[in-house]
Structure 1
Amino acid sequence: MISRRSRQSLRGGGDGAGGGGQGGEGAAGGRPLSGSDSNTPSPGDECKYEDGQHSESVLQGLNDLRLQGHFCDVTLCVDGQNFPVHRAVLASFSPYFRAMFLSSLAESQQEHITLSGVDANMVGLLLEYAYTSRITITKNNVQNLLSASNLLEVATVREACCRFLERHIDATNCVGIHCFAEAHSCQDLTKKAKAYTLKNFSHVMGGDEWINLGVEKVVELLGTDELEVEREEQVFQAATTWLHQSQASRTPVFHKVLEYVRLPLLSPYFLVDVVESEMAVRSSPECRLLVEEARLYHLLPDRRFQLTSPRTKPRKNTNTTTVIVAVGGEDNKLVLRSVECYDPHAHSWRSLSCLPFAVSKHGLVVSGENLLYLAGGEFPDGSVTRCLWRYDPVLDEWHDLAPMESPRSELGLATLDGHIYAVGGWSGTCRLNTVEKYDPRSNSWSSVADMNLAITSPAVVACQGKLFVAGGAILEDGDGIDWAQVYNPHTNTWEELPRMMIPRSGSSAAVLHGLIYIVGGWHASTENTNKVERFDSRTNSWQLVAPMCEKRYRPGVAVVDGHLYVLGGEDGWEHFHDTIECYSPVEDKWTMVGEMLTARSWLSCAPLKIKKEIIGDLATPMS
């Protein structure tokens, strides 16, 4: 045994020779080697040593002990196989075992632990990894190994298996990998396998994995905007390929799949010749309703913007995109002739061909043939025009058409059953109660029944086969009114409607999900307003919805993908907005989503499908 005196000597603080400061200079613990009286060691007094092989040698030692059965304090029992191991090693590499051994559960004290739902060979591989840091992943074991590592919470092996599967994704296995990864909550691999499936769908849709999918996964994939196909007809063919794999059992649920095929985007000939001839479609009332919806979409092109649904929305890989075209208008200095389009998804702008002249206070509509029409308006010198112009999105050109019978500015314009209706407005000398309609087939205008009031700046829109007119001004001061009426083209008659909740002129109107929205405007008692109300023609009633973020007089409005967009307008005298707001009917909420290139009011807006090559890459904002 070492004496107390000897232990002190070893520490350099003993009572031996030199220990009291009187002894010889050679005493081991008498003074610092540097000769300094300080107790702080100099850099030369320490040496930090690190063995790069230590961790590996410890693992090797532990593995040798495991293989020889030394110090093993627990045995894992899996499918009749026993694996003697060390608790400390299991707890150090697996949160699953750490939680088990630190808990008050019975397993924390047991010497034999049975593992269920996991392959014994995979447990052996994971234990080999725990003791060696090495594991071999192959095509034959990767799925079982991922399942085992997922259950035992060995995150590093789990991620290695995901990377292995990702490197081996192809058209024959991408659906299976997606479903497998989803079942094991491998989110990154789930997304990548799904993205591969959607991008290569034309090669996937005839494979074994596709035809053996459950209906829920078929619906999920077919309902995705990112599904890449050249034509929607391929999506229907994919749906019927899946159907025919087990016709008897899948026919009763086929309507759930057909709901996510965008039938209105099919060729009308394909709809009649192929879709309607499918037995599962003919025998299902739900399927026949979907076909009828597509028929109406083709038969009534002018009502397509009123028939919007997820099935009328083009998939993202198509060569067209829906933009909001903003035309003309004015700010506090200029009347504009610029025409620009806004991509509500990329939040970016591009210029289109300018108007032949600068104009404001005009009307703008888009027809069912995806052609833009501009009528009337006021020139910078204050004169009023009868002109009608059509924009061709294919050629990016404006063409002059037959002029209206009367010059009109501050008019309302709407498309209804193949005709363009010009409603009221200012002739240059007086307000108008006259209404005329344009027939694109004959390029001619004709009069219809007059309104009961001469009116300027009304909100006009077509809905459910009728023409709705709300608000406007009837006096010289431009004060808004709450008056509303509807025109029936079949009887050529006008009928009064319940009055709006707020009088207004200079408001804008749009149809969203069969409801008419009246946005912004002006009234002497409220001045410019941010309030929004909507009319339900089925109940013949008005209802206030969430107000806009900003007050707007004479803004532009457009509906895209089930949302209402409002652009520009005035807030007070000579204060012009350049902001864009978006309304979600589901949330009843307005959100600021962008800015215009120039602040303005008295502009007109309309949604238009345009080929992407015309406007270039909308993802890059215009400088």
Structure 2
Amino acid sequence: MASLKLRVGDIIFSVDKTLLTENCEYFRALFQSGMIECQQEEIHLRGLSARGFLITLAVLGGERPILTCDDIIEAIECAAFLQVPSLAKHLINLINSNNCIVMYHTAATFGLMDLYHSSALFIRDMYSDLEEDLRCLPEELVEYILSLMPTTFVAVASHSPTNQLLQDSSRTLCYLDEEEKEWKVLTDLPVEASTSMAGVSVLDNKLYIVGGVRGVNKQVVDSCFCYNALTDSWSKFSSPQQLRYSLTLIGHGDHLYAIGGEYERRIISSVEKYQVSVDTWSFTSRLPRPAASPACAKAMGRIFVCLWKPMDTTDIYEFDVGKEEWFLATTLIREQSYGHCMVAHRDNLYVMRNGPSDDFLRCMIDCYNTTTGQWTALAGQYVNSKGALFTATVRGDSVFTVNRMLTLVYSIEENKWKPRKEMKGFPRSGSMQTFLLRLPTNSSQLTCKCILKERDHNVENVNV
């Protein structure tokens, strides 16, 4: 491979020319221009830091470096000047409460628009926590943040398809009104939709429901539905080639991934990906072994899945989206009794399980850091009455958990989750799935819609 000498600051780098042309629009345009620099033995990149360029090379080489705020500024400068999409994507994956303001301000300065928008969305979700720190920003940058829709905690209970004439008024999506600390109706489920043992995921602020069952015989549902929160409308989309229930659904990029599940009471290992832009499903690499409803989470843009081997072993596999391959990331050995779920925060994966000896009222949490490869057990025990912690959803530095009794929000700290606030429990019975959606910011519209839906439901109940 032809190497190229680049002087950045006081350092000379010898870099594969193909690597640069394939990943940097700046070098691609330079080498196609026929300019005199193309013939030089050494090219001088002026105005960039050697540290920023070193970070760029690390990302192009497949690394995922954790960056300080000073590193971030230099990396953004390189990403904008050299036009490196993979570096910009890595920076988006690094956004957290410690660096989001630096990310936002610097991205605005250098015109890295995807990072600018992603940072603004993150800040919007944590606005109350970061409001004091935002005083350092220009007024127009703060106004842009406030113009965005914050994410809202949304949940749906387990429902089978119903008859149009006997529409069940409880078949609804509900959202948490954090100001009034109670749950309200967002929209009705389509009569053909099933959320019983279905895959549910959000991608680009649209809710997707795949699979599920109807009836005690677990007849698989072959219709898939998408809810657009901005238009308050439902639509159908294509079904997977392998019908399934008890699957896990997760979104990444322009794709949904339907992972594992069951069909005709047989646990399967097949995985399909759905390309939203072309409404097409295709098979990808199978799970290392069959799994029903495997715990799954995304950490820094990477997909991780738990494959539980009762009673004491949990293997965590990473799915490499580019190579479409599964790799064993780590194994957790713990005495555990029943079930678990997994959520991600920064580069940490939190695996939740019941306490030993079938103690269903205690929840133990172990943390795996994907950067260091180390496991730690979180201090304390967490009340798990009626499965609250098995519906955990992360927003910013908070974890939302919910059951029929209460909605409990934790603050994620270094070695524990600290209870932050309590609100009313979810007003539906049975198991549930939770997620985040960006809803219209006009609260009066939501309140009006809530009142109308509750009125319609009451009328239906009176007529019945």
Q: CA deviation at 1:456?
A: 1.2
Partner SS, residue 327 of structure 2: strand
Q: Distance in 2 between matches of 1:470 and 1:306?
A: 30
Partner SS, residue 439 of structure 2: strand
CA-to-aligned-CA distance 1:285-312 (integer Å, 9 cap, x gap): 99646767964546989xx779977589
Say whether residues 1:491 and 2:318 are aligned partners.
no
1:340 alignment partner in structure 2: 174
Of 384, 391, 394, 1:556 maps to 391
Say whether residues 1:609 and 2:429 are aligned partners.
no
Q: Distance in 1 between matches of 2:144 and 2:386?
A: 33
The structure with more strand, counted as a fraction of residues: 2
**Aligned ranges 1:270-349 → 2 under 5 Å:** 288=106, 295-297=113-115, 318=147, 320-329=149-158, 337-349=171-183
1:534 alignment partner in structure 2: 367
Say whether residues 1:350 and 2:181 are aligned partners.
no
Q: Aligned residues: percent identity? A: 16
CA-to-aligned-CA distance 1:564-616 (integer Å, 9 cap, x gap): 10122xxxxxxxx4322211113631356122343544311111110135412
1:106 alignment partner in structure 2: none
2:59 alignment partner in structure 1: none
- C-alpha distance 363-590 of structure 1, shift in aligned 2 (>3 A): farther
Q: Distance in 1 between matches of 2:242 and 2:142?
A: 38
Q: CA deviation at 1:527?
A: 5.0
CA contact (8 A) 2:393 2:435 kept: yes
Q: Which amino acid aligns with 1:431?
A: I
- C-alpha distance 498-550 of structure 1, shift in aligned 2 (>3 A): same
1:276 alignment partner in structure 2: none
CA contact (8 A) 1:341 1:350 kept: yes
Say whether residues 1:454 and 2:290 are aligned partners.
yes
- C-alpha distance 564-619 of structure 1, shift in aligned 2 (>3 A): farther
Q: Distance in 1 between matches of 2:142 and 2:405?
A: 28
**Aligned ranges 1:5-84 → 2 under 5 Å:** none
Q: Which amino acid aligns with 1:449?
A: S
2:405 alignment partner in structure 1: 578
CA contact (8 A) 1:411 1:422 kept: yes
Q: CA deviation at 1:528?
A: 6.5
Of 588, 596, 601, 2:417 maps to 588
CA contact (8 A) 2:201 2:208 kept: yes
2:32 alignment partner in structure 1: none
Partner SS, residue 220 of structure 2: coil
CA contact (8 A) 1:371 1:390 kept: yes
1:137 alignment partner in structure 2: none
CA-to-aligned-CA distance 1:55-93 (integer Å, 9 cap, x gap): xxxxxxxxxxxxxxxxxxxxxxxxxxxxxxxxxxxxxxx
CA-to-aligned-CA distance 1:537-556 (integer Å, 9 cap, x gap): 10122322243222454832
Q: Distance in 1 between matches of 2:142 and 2:182?
A: 20
- C-alpha distance 522-388 of structure 1, shift in aligned 2 (>3 A): farther
Q: Distance in 2 between matches of 1:335 and 1:532?
A: 36
Partner SS, residue 375 of structure 2: strand
Q: Which amino acid aligns with 2:314?
A: D
Q: CA deviation at 1:534?
A: 2.5
Q: Distance in 1 between matches of 2:242 and 2:357?
A: 29
- C-alpha distance 387-498 of structure 1, shift in aligned 2 (>3 A): same
Q: Which amino acid aligns with 2:399?
A: L
Of 547, 556, 560, 2:381 maps to 547
Partner SS, residue 498 of structure 1: strand
Partner SS, residue 323 of structure 2: coil
Q: Distance in 2 between matches of 1:363 and 1:556?
A: 14
2:230 alignment partner in structure 1: 394
- C-alpha distance 371-359 of structure 1, shift in aligned 2 (>3 A): closer
Say whether residues 1:373 and 2:208 are aligned partners.
yes
CA contact (8 A) 2:108 2:116 kept: no
1:150 alignment partner in structure 2: none
CA contact (8 A) 1:470 1:483 kept: yes
Say whether residues 1:359 and 2:195 are aligned partners.
yes
CA contact (8 A) 2:347 2:371 kept: no
Q: Which amino acid aligns with 1:468?
A: F
- C-alpha distance 473-394 of structure 1, shift in aligned 2 (>3 A): farther
**Aligned ranges 1:126-275 → 2 under 5 Å:** none
CA contact (8 A) 1:341 1:351 kept: yes
2:268 alignment partner in structure 1: 432
Q: Distance in 1 between matches of 2:122 and 2:241?
A: 28
Q: Distance in 1 between matches of 2:285 and 2:200?
A: 22
Q: CA deviation at 1:400?
A: 1.1
Q: Distance in 2 between matches of 1:292 and 1:501?
A: 47
CA-to-aligned-CA distance 1:113-154 (integer Å, 9 cap, x gap): xxxxxxxxxxxxxxxxxxxxxxxxxxxxxxxxxxxxxxxxxx
Partner SS, residue 607 of structure 1: strand
Q: How many residues align?
A: 325
Of 235, 239, 248, 1:403 maps to 239
CA contact (8 A) 2:407 2:426 kept: no
Q: Distance in 1 between matches of 2:427 and 2:321?
A: 38
- C-alpha distance 608-398 of structure 1, shift in aligned 2 (>3 A): same
- C-alpha distance 317-348 of structure 1, shift in aligned 2 (>3 A): farther
1:416 alignment partner in structure 2: 252
Partner SS, residue 434 of structure 1: strand
What TM-score results when the alignment is normalised by the length of structure 2?
A: 0.59
- C-alpha distance 336-599 of structure 1, shift in aligned 2 (>3 A): closer
- C-alpha distance 416-316 of structure 1, shift in aligned 2 (>3 A): closer
Q: Distance in 2 between matches of 1:325 and 1:451?
A: 29
1:239 alignment partner in structure 2: none
Greater relative contact order (CA < 8 Å, ≥ 6 in sequence)? 2
Q: Distance in 2 between matches of 1:506 and 1:330?
A: 21
Q: Which amino acid aligns with 1:343?
A: D
Q: Distance in 2 between matches of 1:348 and 1:431?
A: 38
User: Which structure has the larger Rg over C-alpha atoms?
Assistant: 1
Q: CA deviation at 1:420?
A: 0.9
- C-alpha distance 361-534 of structure 1, shift in aligned 2 (>3 A): farther
Q: Distance in 2 between matches of 1:480 and 1:349?
A: 37
Q: Which amino acid aligns with 1:443?
A: D
Partner SS, residue 499 of structure 1: strand
Q: Distance in 2 between matches of 1:286 and 1:352?
A: 31
Q: Distance in 1 between matches of 2:124 and 2:197?
A: 28
Q: Distance in 1 between matches of 2:185 and 2:436?
A: 15
Structure 1's unaligned 5+ residue stretches are 1-254, 259-283, 569-576
Q: Distance in 1 between matches of 2:172 and 2:375?
A: 36
CA contact (8 A) 1:306 1:463 kept: no
Q: Distance in 2 between matches of 1:469 and 1:342?
A: 28
Q: Distance in 2 between matches of 1:285 and 1:447?
A: 37
Q: Distance in 1 between matches of 2:176 and 2:143?
A: 17
Q: CA deviation at 1:323?
A: 1.4
Q: Distance in 2 between matches of 1:413 and 1:439?
A: 13
